[in-house]
Copies of this chain bind each other. A is one copy, B any other.
Amino acid sequence: MSHSSQSTSGQVPGKELYESLTALLGEGKVSLAGDVLDTHSIDKWFASHRPDIVVFAESTADVSKVLGFANERKIPVTTRGAGVGYVGGCVPMRGGIVLSTARMNRILEIRTEDGVAIVQPGVITGDLQAAVRQLGWDYPPDPASLKECSIGGNIATNAGGPRCLKYGVTRSYVLGLEVVLADGRVMRCGGSLHKNKTGFDLIGLFVGSEGMLGIVTEITARLIPKPKSRGMLAAVFPDFPTAAKTVQAILQAGHLPSALEVTDAFTLAAARKKLGAEVFPPGDGHLIMEIDGRPAAVASELEELQDLLKSCGAGEIRIAREDAECEKIWQLRREFSYSLRDTGLTKLNEDIVVPRGKLVELVNFARDLEKETGIAVACFGHAGDGNIHTNLMVEDYLDPVIRERADAALDKLFTWVLSHGGAITGEHGVGLAKKPWIRQALGEVSFGVHREIKTTLDPNGILNPGKFLDE
């Protein structure tokens, strides 16, 4: 089964599409402009493919009309949120229509008495977070890109972030969805309800479906009371295994930090080069942890954790008791990314996951891979989840020779990860970047069930074709 044969990209000329869609939706919602098509050809990954046309939907009715139209004519429709994905998920590989939800960016309602916010998919995640925090509530998911990514995109990839250790991923904060199905039918699932066992979990099916099963047009998000206080600790360790052992000691002692981030020697070296050696005292492993809760609880837990870190062999320990100090530590965490960027190399950021007990094995493997391939590998990320961003540092991924070498190294990495009970993606999604390994990752039975479900919900294969279920 391949949906590629069903693509009509190029068969319906852009101009005809423009006229039909304008007639359907009204003026000002459709564009053929070259720069618009270019912007909508890419995300943050390396793939690029031009759509035939871009539609800026402004309502559920718009989305429904576009899908009804496209389904009848078998025109590919690729949904786009803020376009900041890391795996090429919103690149319209078969042309056709890019449906942008950027204009559907209203926070419709925040009801703290029900613990919910109702939003359109184009709302920027950070804007929702800021709005609910002003009311003393919280929307916990915190992908690194939260100032520019949209809730719709977060739903497409079931986005994570550092605080997922305690708070869970995007799925845990979606109570209700309005979804337009491939044929234009509008379906509602769930609502402003914190528990709901009405039928199958269709919300779960659409969250993380990468635009391949339907288009989400409204989200009812779960809010929680915002913890009144937070605190952080950052510590340098002599080596990575000691840092990883400390991760285990923290959890075994009954702590559940909201975030627990680890960094390897390569990344620390890059950070020292950028920021100065004095910022990170000697040591080849680094841990950051955040805790939150009632003020008295945070204060006493910071002391407990400090003692625990010392007993685990930490060198310098930095403690942040106030918001501003915490932000400084998070800024340090962000510097790890910037420092890698400053090496001048291209960072292939792979969001692999291993069982939490295999962190040391993973980093040892990364060192071996480095020796074997000559490609530097930098590891840092969400230690508590076993979700370690493993960055292959290459010169220019668009250079075919370098790309071939890099892909061979990625293949070794993913093969190792899968043979050690891991996953090829923890929070970025499959998209195009992980497509070559998805069958191996899912296994044949699951891959088959994926295709069966896809065919059931999108029989003409118009939704985001060319991605991980297609040849």
Residues of A within 8 A of B (CB): 111-116, 136, 157-158, 160, 164-165, 168-169, 171-172, 181, 185-189, 191-205, 207-209, 213, 224-228, 248, 251-256, 293-294, 296-298, 300-301, 304, 351, 353-358, 382, 384-387, 421-430, 438, 441-443, 445-447, 449-450, 452-453, 455-457, 468
Residue among B168, B187, B255, B351 making CB contact with A443, cutoff 8 Å: B187
Cβ distance A242 to chain B, nearest Cβ, rounded Å = 16
Given A116-B355, A168-B168: A199 and B254 interface contact (C-beta under 8 Å): no
List 13 A–B pairs whose Cβ atoms lie within 8 Å, in order of A's numbering: A113-B357, A188-B445, A195-B387, A196-B353, A197-B423, A200-B205, A202-B450, A225-B254, A293-B293, A296-B301, A297-B301, A449-B457, A452-B457
In the complex where A200-B453, A208-B201 touch, is A185 in contact with B115 (Cβ < 8 A)? Answer: no
Do B197 and A425 touch across chains, with their CB atoms under 8 A apart? yes
Residues of B within 8 A of A225 (CB): 251-256
Q: Is the CB of A438 within 8 A of B198?
A: yes
Q: Report the minimal beta-carbon distance from A220 to chain B, rounded to whole angstroms.
A: 10
Least distance between A228 CB and chain B CB atoms (Å)? 5
Pick the residue among B196, B355, B430, B456 that contacts A197 (CB under 8 A). Answer: B430
Closest to A87 in B: B197
Q: How many copies does the complex hold?
A: 2
Q: A113–B250 Cα gap in the complex (Å)?
A: 11
Known A-B contacts A248-B113, A251-B225, A357-B111; the reply to A426 vs B197 at CB < 8 A is yes
Give every chain B residue within 8 A of A160 (Cβ-Cβ).
Answer: 195, 197
List the B side residues contacting A424 at CB < 8 Å: 198
With most chain B CB atoms within 10 A of its CB, the pick from A160, A187, A304 is A187
By a CB distance below 8 angstroms, the chain B residues around A446 are 187-189, 199, 202
Option from B113, B197, B423 in Cβ contact (under 8 Å) with A157: B197
B426 & A196 in contact (Cβ 8 Å cutoff): yes
Of B193, B430, B455, which contacts A199 at CB under 8 A? B430
Which residue on chain B has the smallest CB distance to residue A227? Answer: B254
Instruction: Please report the C-alpha to C-alpha distance between residue A208 and residue B429 in the assembled complex, in whole angstroms.
Output: 24
Centre residue among A427, A429, A446, A457 by max chain B CB count within 10 A: A446
Most chain B CB inside 10 Å of its own CB: which residue of A353, A382, A385, A452:
A353
Cα(A351)–Cα(B201), bound, Å = 18
Given A193-B421, A193-B422, A430 contacting B198 (CB threshold 8 A)? yes
A213–B200 CB distance below 8 A: yes
Q: Is the CB of A181 within 8 A of B449?
A: yes
The reply to whether B195 and A164 contact each other, CB–CB distance below 8 Å, is yes
The contact of A187 among B172, B199, B445, by CB within 8 Å, is B445
Q: Residue on B with the closest CB to A443?
A: B188
Q: Chain B residues near A195: list those with CB within 8 A.
A: 160, 164, 169, 353, 382, 385-387, 423, 426-427
